[in-house]
Structure formats: structure tokens, C-alpha cells
Chains A and B, each alone.
Chain A
Amino acid sequence: MTSDRGSRFRWSKVVAFVLGLVPFAWLAYRFATDQLSVNPLDDITDETGTWTLRFILITLAITPLRDLTGWSRLSTYRRMAGLYAFFYGSLHFLAYLSFDKFFDWAEILPDLASRRFIVAGFAAWLLMLPLAITSPTFVTRWMGGKAWKRLHRAVYVVAILGVVHYLWLVKFDIQRPLIYGALVIALLGYRVWAWWKRRSVGTSAHAR
């Protein structure tokens, strides 16, 4: 039922869709008008990476926010946030392949296999791929809710890999990766706590 409601047209979804494009548009605008740094290609790589992580966090924040506020319609935005994480992640990966490596596979393949921050980032992107593919409502229906839910828990791993990727690539100042790490821990911690609470409520219900 939730998915039915989610696929219905709503203006608020149009607004959310446009909002998700704002970071991309802002980056493109600054690139076109020479307002990025004097190393704009690196800025594109950095900013698309940062927005990937932010959209993963937004995706993970929606369930706790829904539980806290009781605003059940929030769930309808989770899929869009997840798809935007995939969108920015793909741009980020493409920026690496093009501006950074110029599709020189002799350089890229060893990188993907051996440089640990690239391994972590690539693994995160690969894991997002099946989640993006199985996001349309008809695929969800075809898979069945339970299997779909189980598959989409992979986003937890994506979040952890994303933070590890960030942590491993910075030269020395790990303040920002640690902030993202703390947010991921908090959001995943909430799920553990909610699961534990549900379980204990469940068992006591059984006992009665």
C-alpha cells in the first residue's frame, strides 16, 4: 500500500526531485562561470563524492525521522534520496574514470583492485547498482517485499564503505570523514536499537 501511495503523482515529489538536482546544477553553474577553484576537475570529483555521502545519509535518516515524527509519508522520499545517492556516486565514479584517469584501463584496473580507498569506493558503487536497478515499483512487486527489503539493507554496507573510502583518501585531516562516520554510526545504531526494542516487545507479547 505504501508503494502505491509512493508512486502516485504529488507536487511535493516534484519539489524533492528538483531539490536533489540543485547540487548538480550549482556545481555545473560554477564550473561554467569559472567560480570553482583553479583545479575545477578535482572540485567536481570532490563535490560529487561529498553529495553521494550526503544522499546516503539522507536515505538512512528517513526511517528514523518517520518513526520519530510519525509522518509516514516520509518513506516515499527514501527511494528518491537513494537514487540520488546512486546518481551522484555514478558522476563521482565517472569523474574519476574520465578527468582523473582518461579511461586508461591499464591504470584504472590495478587501482580498482589494489588501492584501498578506491577499492572501498568502487565496492560501494557496485553495491548501489543492484539497489538502483531494483528500485522501480514493479521490480519491488515482482521480488516480493521481504526479499527486496533484505537486498536493500545493503545500503548500510554502502554507507560504511563510503565513509571508509573518504577516511582513507584524505591526506591527513580526518575531521570531516569522522563527522560523516559518526552520523552513519548514529543512524545505524538507531536501527539496532529499534530492532532490539521490537524484539523484546515481541517476546514479552509472546509470553503473555
Chain B
Amino acid sequence: MSRIQVPKIPSSELTPEPLYYSRRTWLSLVGLSGISAFIAPSAAAQDRWPQGKQGPYDTDEKPSTFREITTYNNFYEFGTDKSDPAAYSGDFKPKPWTVRIDGHVKKEADVQLEDLLKPFAVEDRIYRMRCVEGWSMVIPWRGIPLASILKRVEPTSKARYVAFQTVLRPEEMPGQRRRVLDWPYVEGLRLDEALHPLTFMATGLYGRDLPNQNGAPFRLVVPWKYGFKSIKSIVRMTLTATEPPTTWNLSAPDEYGFYSNVNPEVDHPRWSQKTERRIGEFGKRKTLMLNGYAGLVEGLYAGMDLKKHY
């Protein structure tokens, strides 16, 4: 039952993340020890990017550490403090996992997650993640593009949106025992957003299975939208004709819209979105339009007033 201990893995058992993305940097930090002679040959083959080269969608920014990514989470199903998901997700069982895909599709599916993923090769993607609260990280995800899955289930011509739903297990998710939000958590994307090559279904990070606190075993990653759009622990995806409801929008419609694209020019009604603190840094960075992915995704919003469709 090793998965139950995810938050408590001794640090000695983790692949140190510098080793993961850059043996050379790590070696230079360690210094001139004789060990470097042994590892150097493999280090030459390994680069910063786990797949050996920078993919077209990877950021070249320094990834946040494994500790940063796995101890500072907004996953209200396990509690509303950032430390709650790591502390209280130990009882959550991400295996076995079934995903239902229905709605306007030719091939409805009720599949085991392994079977759903089997036809595809997993990829590593290093993405920026910007939280609506004003902080950000860089996360090396592992998974597959959502488009690969959607193409397999063949959306019909009526399908215009994808609705996502998180698992409802109050007995394993203590945060769901309090009605902070209207459980289960639901999210949605327009079909063209869902089919965009950046839109990713993560099953891991840092080359390992997703820890429970990060949305195990199967979660959405939409890097140009605020983090809460990237719904975790997904059990259902439904292709719909109309815009599906989304949890934060239902809770506070004037603060959280359906699109929720990262946009430094549209402030949250109560705080500025112009800057962000990258976790691990002292100063603040300027928040980038569409979280720095404008060149890739702005075409999706041509002719739309993003101040109105926030």
C-alpha cells in the first residue's frame, strides 16, 4: 500500500529533481567528487528535459521542486489549507480507477484508466501553472494530450463542450464532508480548447505517478487558464452541446467566469492579477497574457472580449 504513504516518502527515496531534469547541474553542485566520473557518461545523454529534448510546448523555465509541487496545493476535497491535501490524502485510493466518457460521442466508454491510456505513448510536458490567488509554479507533468482521447471516442457534430467531473468520495476525501463547494467539483472547456495540443491529461509528475494531493490518478492540465480549471481526480467526461456549469463559477459568478484565462489585464474583483509570485522566488513576476501561451492559443479567442468573457 505504498500509495497511501505518498506524502510521507522519505526524501532519500525520491529522485532528486535536479537529477531528474539536469544531471549536469546537479553534478556541478555536488562538485568535484569522484562519483561524477561514474555518472558523467549517462549525464551526457540526459538533458534538462526528461524525454531528452525540449518539446515544442515545454517552457525552458526552471521547474519547481518536487516538494514545492506536492506540499502546496489547492485541492479543497482534502481541506482548504494549502498543506491539507498533502496531509489528508493518505486514505485516497487512486487504483482501480474507472472513467466514464459519454454525451455526444459515437463511442461511449466506461473504461479502466489503464485501458484508456494503453493505446497512447506518455509524454512529458513542462508547463507553467498560475493560480488565481497570485502564485505560480513550473511543473514537469507526464500524461497524454486530451485530444488523443477525444478523437478515439469520436465526438458527434452536436458536441461543443466537454464537461469534467471529480470523484465524490467523502469517506476518503475529508474536505468533501463539509459543503465548502458544491460537490462533486465540475469543470468544462469549449471543444476547441479541449482539442488544443496544449491541453493535457496528466497521470504523473516528475516521471512518477501523480501523488494523491496533485489529483491522482487522472487530471486535466490547461496551462493558459487559472489553476482551478485544471480539475483533478476525474471520473467522468461528458461531451455537451451547451456550456456546462463549473464549480467556482457557481460559487461566485462575478469572480470566476467559465473561461478563466490567465489575463493580467483583468483583475480579480478583489485583487490584482498583474503580478504573481513564483514559488521559491522573493520578488514578483509580471503575469503573462494567457500565462505566456498567447502565441499558441490566442487564436481560440479571436474576436472575443476577454474582459467580458473572463
Contact = CB atoms under 8 A, between A and B. Distances in A.
Interface residues on B, range: 20 to 34
B156 interface: no
A12 interface: no
A174 to B, nearest CB: 9
A122 interface: no
Given A115-B270, A115-B271, A116-B270, A38 B133 contact: no
A168 interface: yes
A37 interface: yes
B277 A173 contact: no
A117 interface: yes
Nearest to A117: B270
B82 interface: yes
Contact of B133 (A111, A171, A175): A171
A171 B132 CA distance: 10
Contacts, number: 45
B51 interface: no
A38 B67 contact: yes
Interface in A17-62: 37-39, 41-42
Contacts of A39: 72, 82, 135, 277, 279
Tell me the interface secondary structure of chain B in the complex.
Answer: loop
Given A37-B72, A39-B72, A172-B251, A102 B284 contact: yes
Contacts of B282: 41, 99
B71 A42 contact: no
A119 to B, nearest CB: 11
A117 B269 CA distance: 11
Interface string B60-82: 00001101100110001000101
A107 interface: yes
B289 to A, nearest CB: 19
Interface string A148-192: 000000000000000000001101110100000000000000000
A107 B80 contact: no
Nearest to B175: A173
A33 B160 CA distance: 51
Interface string B268-283: 0011101001011011
B83 interface: yes
B53 to A, nearest CB: 29
Contact of B181 (A41, A42, A111, A172): A172
B251 A42 contact: no
B270 A41 contact: no
A37 B133 contact: no
A41 B277 contact: yes
A44 to B, nearest CB: 12
B97 to A, nearest CB: 28
A38 B71 CA distance: 8
Contact of B270 (A38, A107, A168): A168
B14 interface: no
A173 B80 contact: yes
A99 B283 CA distance: 7
A172 B72 contact: no
Contacts of B37: none
Interface in B263-307: 270-272, 274, 277, 279-280, 282-284
A39 B69 CA distance: 11
Contact of B135 (A42, A117, A171): A42
Contacts of B82: 37, 39
A173 B280 contact: no
Given A38-B279, A42-B135, 13 more contacts: A38-B65, A39-B82, A39-B279, A99-B282, A102-B284, A107-B272, A107-B274, A115-B270, A116-B270, A171-B132, A172-B181, A173-B76, A175-B178
Which 4 residue pairs are nearest across A and B when measured between Cβ atoms? Answer: A38-B68, A173-B80, A38-B72, A173-B180
7 contacts: A38-B64, A38-B67, A38-B68, A38-B280, A41-B282, A102-B283, A107-B272
